[in-house]
Amino acid sequence: MKTLGEFIVEKQADYPNAKGELTGILSSIRLVAKVIHRDINKAGLTNNIIGNAGSENVQGETQMKLDIFAHETFKKALMAREDVAGFASEEEENFIAFDTQRGRNAKYVILTDPLDGSSNIDVNVAVGTIFSIYRRVSPIGTPVTLEDFLQPGHRQVAAGYVVYGSSTMLVYTTGNGVNGFTYDPSLGVFCLSHENIQIPQTGKIYSINEGQYLKFPMGVKKYIKYCQEEDKATNRPYTSRYIGSLVSDFHRNMLKGGIYIYPSATNYPNGKLRLLYEGNPMAFLAEQAGGLASDGFRRILDIQPTELHQRIPLFIGSKQMVEKTQDFMQQFSGE
């Protein structure tokens, strides 16, 4: 069976201008995934990695101990590489410029949500890591700038996620399809298990926190009712499945067919998920697998970011289902 390392090296020939830097970065992310996998699987045995950290991140959200651990693990692994010029994380207010000579000469910046769905850790529910890689736009030889991170998603060089569930799986794209690798802890390697993943064009699953129904836009309310109506011609009603971890919900829907929705609401009018750390990387994966990602009106990958922690609504998954939500959002946009 082909390992992730073998696959990365094999695909390096597709990017002759990268000169191996992207290969090295993906290898570092592979190592981070192994470290986080190890500690998540010890979460029930030790108290120093579960529970609240007693602090909040820049969004005002309670940080879990594993949030901080995953963030620091990512930062240390990337700082050790010569290929990374800077790093931005959902857990830190400002980006970090690796302001050494090799950092100034590096070509790439990394953005990450180190531990998506971390509130699920204490109850042994699947969580994930999301990452996004861009080629910097500032001159080589200088420290990175904010503009290097505020790039629209269609400029991503690579993106992916790791889902820590019944097995640990790393899924990524470099713009030539989506491939998934399952971790074999007995060998310490990720093995190619899901080659050229394709999202079904439609599905029977819709994933949304229906407890917030009264706060949603009218278009979302109408779509939820549409999902619940019986119609044999369109294979409805659909099934509601919501884990509360973007990575886990998206991963299931990508394999089985479905849509994940985190819309705007009266208590978060601009949406809640972050464009740079969650929206763009997952949208890149969705499109590369034949799906679609929208904020209800626009393609996610076309949005020009204006700040590091910019929030957005997110409709993502099977192409026909996302298009249907856009129809509802357009039709009821004034209500």
Strands 205-207 and 239-240: parallel
Strand partners, 194: 180
Task: Determine whether the annotation assigns residue 272 to a binding site.
Answer: yes
Q: Tokens for 259?
A: 């849509």
Collapsed DSSP state (helix, strand, coil) of residue 152: coil
* Residue 70 and residue 44 in contact, taking contact as beta carbons nearer than 8 Å: no
Task: Determine whether the annotation assigns residue 117 to a binding site.
Answer: yes
Task: Determine whether the annotation assigns residue 209 to a binding site.
Answer: yes
Task: Determine whether the annotation assigns residue 292 to a binding site.
Answer: no
Task: Determine whether the annotation assigns residue 75 to a binding site.
Answer: no
Say how far apart CA 247 and CA 126 lie, in whole Å: 9
Burial (0-12, 13-18, 19+ Cβ within 10 Å), 54: exposed
* Residue 259 and residue 140 in contact, taking contact as beta carbons nearer than 8 Å: no
Task: Determine whether the annotation assigns residue 148 to a binding site.
Answer: no
Question: CA torsion sign, 133 to 139 to 140 to 145?
Answer: negative
Alpha carbon 142 to chain centroid, angstroms: 29
Say how far apart CA 225 and CA 238 lie, in whole Å: 10
* Residue 247 and residue 129 in contact, taking contact as beta carbons nearer than 8 Å: yes
Task: Determine whether the annotation assigns residue 113 to a binding site.
Answer: yes
H helix runs in 167-318, sequence order: 218-228, 246-256, 280-288
Task: Determine whether the annotation assigns residue 278 to a binding site.
Answer: yes
The phi, psi pair for 171, rounded to 5°, reads: -125, 130
* Residue 330 and residue 298 in contact, taking contact as beta carbons nearer than 8 Å: no
Task: Determine whether the annotation assigns residue 138 to a binding site.
Answer: no
Here the contacts of 181-186 (C-beta below 8 Å, separation 24 or greater) are 181/3, 181/4, 181/7, 183/33, 183/34, 183/37, 185/37
Burial (0-12, 13-18, 19+ Cβ within 10 Å), 152: middle
Q: Which residues are annotated as a binding site for Mg(2+)?
A: 90, 113, 115-116, 278
Output the known binding site for substrate: 116-119, 209, 242, 272
> Known binding site: residues?
90, 113, 115-119, 209, 242, 272, 278
